[in-house]
Amino acid sequence: MVQTKSIYIYGSGGHGKVVGEIARLNGYENIIFLDDKKGLKFSKNLAKFDIIIAVGDNKIRAKLQEKVLNLGFNVVSLIHPKAVISKSAVINQGVVVMAGAIINPDAIIKDGVIINSAAVIEHECVIKKFAHISPNSALAGGVVVGEFCHLGIGSSVIQNIKIGKNSVVGAGAVVINNVPANSVVVGVPAKVIKNLKLKSLLDKKSIFIYYESWEFDCCGKSFSVRDKIDWSVDLDVELKIDKFNIELYYDGHCRAINPYSLVGVVKSINKLYKDDNGNRLVKCCINTNRFEENYKDYRFFGYIVEIENFTLKECKE
């Protein structure tokens, strides 16, 4: 008796429908959709059929794939019959390659990657774990795409470019320079418009972070993190928000510039922000663009090292 070929499709959304169709074209007859929020929920007690994670969110897909592997399920890759795959290309576990996609010689597609419809992966590209290459995207030879990246529909990347992990390339973007990790790039040519690592801190209050890029400009002199400062000024603070950047002006001559707006306290290890009475240098009213009060006749000294108790706001063009 011939055994029916069975597979679980973990994810029942639109992406899951497409993956289910590819499974059918690969000879699976018994296709079972699983979803944690509707239909049949996943359980460790299910029969150990083949399984594929059909979730578009890269990080959720990674977590689910790790979960089912730890429970002993066989995670397979699914390749549409109308995809063109070089014999020397390497396709790892849990990969989905959709109709019309082309993967050329010596390309490496690592675990959990989605190569969507009509995407082109040229020779010697490396697509790292749980990235998503959207429909009609084209990667020239030697491109490296980091873990958890998302390349939007119709995006293009010239040869030998490296795209850092957790980055997003906008739809239709043309990437001609390396992309730092945790970045969003858009446009022709593609430019960085957002840092996703900092964006993840949005609306989290009472957090602690070091700002390596913090700089002071004062009376023609520049100061940055770990530079010693020692001067007296008549402090008259003005808050300026421009594209969600903040500038703190000191007596019209000194300013501290930080690429993200903040609400909170600027401080350092050597009482940079305190006067003889222990008052804080700057205190903002929460959720407003006003300072609670202006202080005068401060002496600043110490090392600029940290910012505490603040809210980051998204940078906008």
Written as tens digits, the pLDDT of the chain (317 aa) is 557 899 999 998 899 999 999 999 999 999 999 887 655 667 777 778 899 999 999 999 999 999 999 888 999 999 999 999 999 999 999 999 999 999 999 999 999 999 999 999 999 999 999 999 999 999 999 999 999 999 999 999 999 999 999 999 999 999 999 998 888 999 999 998 877 764 443 333 322 233 333 344 444 444 444 444 333 332 233 222 222 223 333 333 333 444 333 323 333 222 233 334 444 333 332 333 333 333 333 333 332 333 333 333 332 33
Q: Could you tell me if residue 1 is inside a domain? A: no
Residues whose CB is less than 8 angstroms from the CB of residue 235 and which lie 6 or more positions away in sequence, other chains included:
250, 251, 281, 294, 295, 296, 297, 298
Provide the pLDDT for residue 104.
Answer: 98
Distance of CA 210 to the CA centre of its chain: 19
Residues whose CB is less than 8 angstroms from the CB of residue 78 and which lie 6 or more positions away in sequence, other chains included:
19, 22, 23, 26, 52, 95, 96, 97
Q: Annotation-wise, does 56 bind a ligand?
A: yes
Which three-class secondary structure string do you get for 1-40? CCCCCEEEEECCCHHHHHHHHHHHHCCCCEEEEECCCCCE
Residue that finishes a domain, picked among 169, 194, 219: 194
Q: Annotation-wise, does 275 bind a ligand?
A: no
Provide the pLDDT for residue 289.
Answer: 34
Give the pair of three-digit tokens for residue 37.
């929020």
Provide the pLDDT for residue 254.
Answer: 36
Q: One of 15, 80, 123, 150 is an active-site residue; which one?
A: 123
Closest CA to 233 of 251, 246, 247: 251
25: domain CATH number is: 3.40.50.20
Provide the pLDDT for residue 107.
Answer: 98
Q: What range does the domain containing 222 cover?
A: 204-313
What does the alpha-carbon distance between residue 301 and residue 247 come to, in Å, rounded to a whole number? Answer: 20
130: domain CATH number is: 2.160.10.10
Quick one: 188 and 220 in the same domain?
A: no
Q: Annotation-wise, does 276 bind a ligand?
A: no
Provide the pLDDT for residue 37.
Answer: 67
Q: Annotation-wise, does 132 bind a ligand?
A: yes
Provide the domain count of the chain. 3
What does the alpha-carbon distance between residue 284 and residue 262 come to, in Å, rounded to a whole number? Answer: 9
Give the pair of three-digit tokens for residue 271.
């009482």
Closest CA to 62 of 107, 94, 98, 108: 94
Q: Could you tell me if residue 199 is inside a domain? A: no
Quick one: 47 and 35 in the same domain?
A: yes
Quick one: 222 and 237 in the same domain?
A: yes
123 has catalytic annotation? yes
Beta strand ranges found along 154-297 (DSSP E): 156-157, 162-163, 168-169, 174-175, 183-186, 191-195, 208-209, 215-218, 221-224, 228-233, 239-242, 245-250, 254-258, 265-268
